[in-house]
Amino acid sequence: MVRFENVPLLLGLVLVITLAGAPPTKAAGPVCRDAEKFSRASFPEGFLWGTATAAFQVEGAVDEGCRGPSMWDTFTKKYP
C-alpha cells in the first residue's frame, strides 16, 4: 500500500521552487484609476444607476483597492 504522508511536504516544496524561480512582476499602469477622468459621460445613454454592497465585501479590507480604514475597521480593532 502506498503511503501519502509526505505529499503535502512535496507539494509545498514544488510551490516554493516555482515561486522562487518566477521573476517579480509590476503593474503596467497605476493600480487605482484616476478619479478625475470618471464621469457620467463614461457610460452609455440610458444607463441606470444603482448601488449595493455588503459588509462582507468591504469591511476588513483596509489598504486594499485604494481604500483606507473605515469607522467600523477602527472600532473593531479597538474593541475586538
Check if the beta carbon of residue 67 is closer than 8 Å to that of residue 58. Answer: yes
- Please state the domain extents for the chain: 53-80
Percentage of the chain with pLDDT > 70? 80
DSSP class of residue 11? H
Indicate the pTM of the whole model: 0.28
Comparing 60 with 76, the larger pLDDT belongs to 76
Q: Is 66 left (phi over 0), alpha (psi -120 to 50) or beta?
A: left
Q: Which residue has the cell 479597538?
A: 78
pLDDT in tens, 22-53: 787 877 777 776 667 777 888 889 998 888 77
